């Protein structure tokens, strides 16, 4: 089972007002000075909170699935790669040290399920191979974590 991080497990700020208060002012100043998006701010990813219900959902899903976090990282934010690892070690130590995979082509990975909130980086093509399924988190039957957990726990492997 592959699970995306940003917007699925991690509560990623879509607008500047949602950036954690501890770094918001510095981040906004940096964005203006460098004419960049806040996702490129060094250190942003290690300061983000978990999405409501995500940690509990992963704990439940671990009873049935081998879980890997399959995430993309902003190419212009080199620290995001290590920040994501720091985030996982801090919030999901039960997954083990090598559960994070960073990739801009999620469709190239073999697995049964991918939970992702966006179509980009190959997520929408993940179900191309027989036996694979993309669960479009935040939409339709999978709007919230309890809906996803219920579906996956009932699913036959």
Please list the active-site residues: 4, 6
DSSP 101-156: EE-S-GGGS--SEEEES-STTTGGGGGGSTT-EEEETTBTTBSSHHHHHHHHHHS-
Distances (CA, A) of 27 to 45, 90, 130, 143: 12, 22, 43, 30
CA-only gyration radius of the chain, Å: 16
Check: CB of residue 2 under 8 Å from CB of residue 114: yes
Helix (H) or strand (E) holding 89: helix 79-91
């Amino acid at each position: 089972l592959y699970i995306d991080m940003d917007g699925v497990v991690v509560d990623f700020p879509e607008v500047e007002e949602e950036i954690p208060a501890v770094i918001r002012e510095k981040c906004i100043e940096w964005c203006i000075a460098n004419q960049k998006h806040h996702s490129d701010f060094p250190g942003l990813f290690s300061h983000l909170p978990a999405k409501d219900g995500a940690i509990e959902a992963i704990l439940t899903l671990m009873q049935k699935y081998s879980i890997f976090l399959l995430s993309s990282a902003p190419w212009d934010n080199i620290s995001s790669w290590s920040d994501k690892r720091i985030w996982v070690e801090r919030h999901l130590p039960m997954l083990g040290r090598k559960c994070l995979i960073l990739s801009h082509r999620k469709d190239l990975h073999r697995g049964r399920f991918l939970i992702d909130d966006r179509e980009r980086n190959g997520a929408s093509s993940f179900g191309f191979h027989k036996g694979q399924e993309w669960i479009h988190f935040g939409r339709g039957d999978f709007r919230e974590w309890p809906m996803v957990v219920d579906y996956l726990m009932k699913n036959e492997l």
